[in-house]
Chain A
Amino acid sequence: MSEEIYGIVASFKDTPSLYHAAEKVRDAGFNHWDTYSSFPIHGMPEAQGQKRSKVPIFTFAGGVTGLTLGTTMVWYMNAFDYPLIVGGYPFFSPVFPFPIMYELTILLAAFGTLGGMFIMNLLPQHYNPLFNCAKFLEVSDDRLMIAIEAKDGQFDPVATKQFLESIGGFDIEEVTA
């Protein structure tokens, strides 16, 4: 196994053909594959058979943490650990710490969102075999690609190549791991 194959890449001529090709790869039942384009494509997640992104879970967790932290922090500091008498105001109330609670909710929800995006995309990632492919780098400009990975159960070096060709792919190449 000196030349282990990572997968097969194929290019497509425009956005509609990439979109329809993605639908066909999805219907053929592949699991380990993805489309590549330098811009988001409207409706592509459905065409790829992907479910709704799970990033909102992280956002919600961050927001709840922020709200709890803001509330308990103000209570602990101004009402429990060192109560200070200021202008006859109560030591704690849900009203005056509201800006703190509000801002910390947003702050931690934002961190949760960015962190969630990284976690769900498995980033940062310092290496991916696809970067060895010169044509793959052109995706950054205007190339549109589909890559089917060798670890997919249905993968077969010859049949998968023929399949990609049949759905309109060109510049079909094997990418070594």
Chain B
Amino acid sequence: MSSDTTDCSIDSAKQALLDKVAPATLKDQNLVTNNREFSWVTNKICKIVESNTPNWWWVCMAVALVTASFTLMGLIWLVSTGVGVWGLANPINWGWAIVNFVFWIGIGHAGTLISAILCLLKQGWRTSINRAAEAMTIFAVVCAGIFPLFHVGRVWFAWWLFPLPNANLIWPQFRSPLEWDVFAVSTYGTVSVLFWYMGMIPDLGILRDRAVQRLTAGIYEETSKLRESIARGTDVFRKYFYGVLAMGWRNAGNHWRNYEMAYLLLAGLSTPLVLSVHTIVSFDFAVAVLPGWHTTIFPPFFVAGAIFSGFGMVLTLMLPLRALYGLHDLITQRHIDNMCKICLGTGSIVGYAYIMEFFIAWYGANPYESFAFINRAFGQYSWAYYIMFSCNVFTPQLFWFKKVRQNAALVWIMSILINVGMWFERFVITVTSLANDFLPSSWGYYSPTIVDIFTFAGTFGLFSTLFLMFLRFLPLMPIGEIKFIMPQADPHGHSDDDGKESE
């Protein structure tokens, strides 16, 4: 009893002290700033699709299409001549094609991390960047798929990769990691599309309802009769286009109940999926008995690198969009801070892996393994190694500083450096081990040809084309999910802090 009273007295003394110093209660910054209403969110996001196409969009689309034609030219050249037009030559039989494949697949991983893993971790800030990041995933997988598909040379035999008997009734050989890759990447692409589409159904319903409302009201304040009928015609198209895609969604409580459950399950399925995809991609290397490839560190190292490069790409895409569409209330400084911190975390894991590879090469006392790593840093490809190391290890360390994270232009430049660095990482891993293997008499030096360069450069155009189409036709952000994290959506009354985050 006496101890109780002492506690009380300490408490009251503490209370008096607390009252005197008046400590600030630290609140997280709201995820939707400026106390916006629900209708503001609906209008802001729907207007991106509904308003007239901005001029910058046409300029970007033209540039993207011209760039994308490079890939087409490269592929026509390849198919009509043969894989010899790529810079592959003994002993380097894996060049830019696999580098580009791993690069693009890695970029996709941030989208799934945001939509699945951050959903399971109840990170409310994922909502406003999640849709665009998932779109990025799908388009990155499309770009990635081109390379393994066409590196087979006679692309019309690519169906041999799928479990169908070929002309001699021989099935695919499932003991090869390359065959695992076929299943991992095609499953990844398919599940990403399913997840993306399901998340969009309520928003497609919103766009459908808005088109119907405009058509019923019949108010089109256009300058001429022609413009008016074009606007009306577009809305008729929208009514059917979004109507079919929304599948009759009507925002019912019962719909949301099943939808939320399905969303959670898809997030739970995508999480092991995304980790498995880059693990299997790393098996392409790790299963081979080549110094520099044959290491157990590869799966976690590849997954961390993939998320690192993917967040780099999300920043590269979202920062200009935020400025162009004035989305500062939805993609706040807190979102940018969080993305920068994930880049910092994963970038540090990547840097740790680089150093650990060196340590194990020395500690393992295998002369071939030690040579492979000394050769990476000081051999004929040391220039690529230094680009990789400085971009991937030093760049993200700047994100420790708040001043850096608050400078959007600087963050954007750094996000591009991250992607450059991550492309070079795959180049270093693939090429150095192949160019200088066990027999010095068979060493070589790999250089890409103009066809390699064209095909790769063009995939950025293809990616941008697809992304620009997404901006114009589909809702950029999940409207329902953003409303869910706003204080007004709390069924137990408003609260100023966003309690949803910590639930």
Contact = CB atoms under 8 A, between A and B. Distances in A.
Contact of B251 (A36, A55, A73, A134): A36
B267 to A, nearest CB: 10
3 closest A-B pairs by CB: A77-B171, A125-B248, A19-B491
Contact of B479 (A15, A38, A44): A38
A50 B187 contact: no
Contacts of B500: 42
B435 interface: no
Contacts of A27: none
18 contacts: A16-B493, A34-B254, A35-B253, A38-B480, A40-B256, A48-B254, A56-B265, A77-B174, A81-B171, A82-B171, A99-B276, A99-B283, A103-B187, A113-B262, A117-B198, A117-B262, A131-B250, A141-B42
A107 B180 CA distance: 14
Given A34-B254, A77-B172, A117-B259, A106 B206 contact: no
B352 interface: no
B194 A110 contact: yes
Interface in B333-369: none
A39 B250 contact: no
B257 A53 contact: yes
Contact of B490 (A38, A42, A97, A121): A42
A78 interface: yes
A144 B387 CA distance: 55
Contact of A100 (B174, B247, B270): B174
B272 interface: yes
Interface centre among B172, B250, B500 (most CB of A within 10 A): B250
Interface of A: 14-16, 18-19, 22, 34-45, 47-48, 50, 52-56, 59, 73-74, 77-78, 81-82, 84, 86-87, 89, 96-97, 99-100, 102-104, 106-107, 109-111, 113-114, 116-118, 120-121, 123-128, 130-131, 134, 137-142
B154 interface: no
B216 A34 contact: no
Interface of B: 37-39, 42-43, 163, 165, 169-177, 179-180, 183-184, 187, 190-191, 194-195, 197-198, 202, 205-206, 209-210, 212-213, 216, 247-262, 265-266, 269-270, 272-273, 276, 280, 283, 479-481, 483-484, 488-493, 500, 503
A104 to B, nearest CB: 7
> Mostly helix, strand, loop or mixed at chain B's interface?
helix
A111 B269 CA distance: 11
A45 B257 contact: yes
Contact of A37 (B43, B174, B175, B253): B253
A140 B484 contact: no
B483 A36 contact: no
Contact of B213 (A48, A125, A130, A137): A137
A124 B251 contact: no
Given A44-B491, A114-B197, 9 more contacts: A38-B251, A39-B480, A42-B489, A48-B253, A77-B171, A104-B183, A106-B276, A114-B194, A139-B250
A43 B500 CA distance: 12
A123 B248 CA distance: 6
Contact of B253 (A44, A106, A128): A44
Given A36-B252, A109-B269, A128-B248, A86 B491 contact: no
A22 B253 contact: yes
Nearest to A78: B174
> Mostly helix, strand, loop or mixed at chain A's interface?
helix
Given A37-B251, A107-B191, A140-B42, A78 B175 contact: yes
Nearest to A137: B209
Contacts of A52: 261
A40 B39 contact: no
B190 A118 contact: no
A55 B173 contact: no
Given A89-B175, A103-B187, A41 B258 contact: no
Contact of B254 (A50, A128, A139): A50
B491 A134 contact: no
A71 B184 CA distance: 15
A97 B488 CA distance: 50
A84 B184 contact: no
B258 A121 contact: yes
A84 B251 contact: no
Contacts of A84: 170-171, 173
A103 B252 CA distance: 33
A22 B197 CA distance: 30
A124 B247 contact: yes
A40 B259 contact: yes
A55 B269 CA distance: 14
Contacts of B262: 53, 55, 113-114, 116-117
A127 B68 CA distance: 41
A141 B47 CA distance: 13
B163 A55 contact: no
B190 A107 contact: yes
A116 B478 CA distance: 21
Nearest to B164: A77
B491 A42 contact: yes
A15 to B, nearest CB: 5
A158 to B, nearest CB: 25
B257 A99 contact: no
Contacts of A14: 488
Interface centre among B216, B491, B500 (most CB of A within 10 A): B491
B250 A128 contact: yes
A75 B262 CA distance: 32
Nearest to B255: A121
Contacts of A56: 261, 265
Given A55-B262, A121-B254, A134-B216, A140 B191 contact: no
A43 B503 CA distance: 13
B38 A47 contact: no
A39 B191 contact: no
Contacts of A142: 37-39, 42
